[in-house]
Structure 1
Amino acid sequence: MTFLFHDTVPVATGTVSVAFTDRRLDLGDNADPAVRGAALAEIAAETGATPYLMHQVHGTAVHVPDGADGAFPDADALVTGAAGLALLARAADCVPVLLVADSGEVGAVHAGREGVRRGVVPAALRRLDELGATGLRAWVGPHICGACYEVPEEMRAEVAAEVPATAATTSWGTPALDLGAGVRAQLEAAGVAVAEVGGCTREDEALHSHRRDGAAAGRLAGVVWRTP
């Protein structure tokens, strides 16, 4: 089985699947091309859909794929109403978020510190609304927890000024950010039902973590696709 977590939900236009990978696959930009290619081939075989990647830049750009065109856009969110595309949001401590609308549209969001502060999740929700999405649900994937994500006090204050729910303290008593709490607050403020897929990436060695492994860290992925 390719996935750490896998669920399917019926929608108006078919069935949508949401899934998260673990450390067994490396989908990172810095992975050996053969390693990443093998991981993408495995995801394609498992999903029956064409994997679609973005070049994640810690911004708020939302890209709408118009087909399996092989693009690698600078973006931190992908949304589509098309079937047959497996949208990937990759992470190694940041928060991968998968979005599903009862009307059939789907989205994948990479929410890092800057993305949470600047509002990449609300940006993806707005774009889905423009596509006509109704009845949105979200799956929040494995990410570094607030008890582990130590940051300078100034950084905590800067992010918390925009998203108060992110303010946290590490288990050893220093300033921290809880990006997952910030994402949940943004989703709940928009009326989106949230499901949690547990796991702190720094604590769980079955998951990729940049904080734990540094430059050697790979990338896990949230994957969402619709089958007609």
Structure 2
Amino acid sequence: MTAGLSRMFWWHRQVGDNLWAGFTNTSAGNLALHVGDDPDAVLKRRAELEAVMGVRPGTLRFMNQVHSAEVAEAAGPGTGAPTADGLISGDGAAPLAVMVADCVPVLLAGAGPDGRPVTAAVHAGRRGLLDNILPVAVDRMRSAGGTGLRAWIGPCVCGQCYEVPAAMQAESVALLPATAAVTRSGTPALDLPAGAQAQLAGLGVSVERVGGCTLENDQLFSHRRDPATGRFAGVIWQRS
């Protein structure tokens, strides 16, 4: 397992008793079914990822991500992917995945009331972040009994690379001041991971930032660098 994780993951770590978190890299290949890739090849890569993670085949739960503030409970295998931008597992039993290629992937974990972890995977793009997808996810985790919440913010486009129109910057900063940024050339930009970190910290969640700008590093997929790109995944799981 360790060798496979090192090859297929940008970052991974054991974050609890039999609980792991990680973010894949381009060696794991495109994991999305919605970007024009061969579906059979995508499903094969997902199966390879599950094998490296040490989870049962077909159990890794994905979402149909639509830049919303919708958080869904992870259902059992074979039930299809919910249309949502956050997935919760109230007992940590379901391996969870969030796919990105510039947006902010956030993994969360907390201690559950029965000694099992409460886990979540969240897709925090600009719209979802401003629409409070992270507070919604944290509230859902706490409603499930989660305490001592921790979060891992994965690789995404950095504040010096995420250039936006001035009006978009003004709208975003008005809602979440920590997103204010400028590019290296001094044009308006947004720092989404800084915004996510500030929002989570304000909710009493312990936050760790995993480095890596998707636009600057070709070991990560970036839609800004290549609109036809694939998607890497943030995953949180317990080994079977």
Class of the TM-score when normalised by the shorter of the 2 chains: over 0.9
Q: For 1:1-228, what aligned pairs fall within 5 Å after superposition?
A: 1=4, 2-10=8-16, 14-24=17-27, 25-28=29-32, 29-30=34-35, 31-49=37-55, 50-103=59-112, 104-214=117-227, 216-227=228-239
**Equivalent residue pairs, number:** 224
Distance in 2 between residues matched to 1:83 and 1:138, nearest whole Å = 15
Moved more, 66-75 or 200-209: 66-75
Q: Is the 8 A contact 1:60 1:120 kept in 2?
A: yes
The 2-side partners of 1:220 and 1:181 are apart by 20
Deviation (angstroms), 1:83? 4.3
Larger deviation, residues 78-87 vs 51-60: 78-87
Query: Retained in 2: the 8 A contact 1:52–1:70?
Result: no
Instruction: Provide the C-alpha distance between the structure 2 equivalents of 1:169 and 1:22, rounded to a whole number of angstroms.
Output: 27
Q: What is the CA–CA distance in structure 2 between the aligned matches of 1:69 and 1:123, rounded to whole Å?
A: 26
Unaligned 5+ segments in structure 1 are none
TM-score of the aligned structures, taking structure 2 as reference length: 0.90
Q: Deviations over 1:175-224 (max 9, x none)?
A: 0010000000111001111111110000001100001011x111011000
Tell me the C-alpha RMSD between the 2 structures.
1.3
Letter of the 1:26 counterpart: N
Is residue 69–residue 131 contact of structure 2 (8 Å, CA) maintained in 1? yes
Aligned letter for 1:36?
V
The secondary structure found in structure 1 opposite 2:150 is: strand
Q: Does the 8 A contact of 1:90 with 1:220 survive in 2?
A: yes
Q: Displacement, 1:68? A: 1.9
Shift of 1:159: 1.0
Q: 5+ unaligned residues in a row in structure 2: which ranges?
A: none
Q: Distance in 1 between matches of 2:185 and 2:92?
A: 46
Residue-by-residue CA offset, 1:147-197 (whole Å, 9 max, x unaligned): 000000000111111111001101111000100000001110011111111
Shift of 1:27: 1.2
Give the residue type in structure 2 aligned to 1:58. H
| Contact 2:68-2:84 within 8 A present in 1 as well | yes
SS of residue paired to 1:100: strand
> Is residue 79–residue 107 contact of structure 1 (8 Å, CA) maintained in 2?
yes
- In structure 2, distance between residues paired with 1:184 and 1:32: 35
Instruction: Give the Å deviation of 1:5.
Output: 1.2
**C-alpha distance in structure 2 between counterparts of 1:6 and 1:161, whole Å:** 34
DSSP 3-state at the match of 2:18 = strand
| Counterpart contact for 1:83–1:227, Cα < 8 Å | no
Deviation string, structure 1 residues 119-138 (Cα, Å, up to 9, x no partner) = 11111001101111011000
Task: Check the 8 A contact 1:43/1:51 in 2, yes or no.
Answer: no
Amino acid at match of 2:179: T
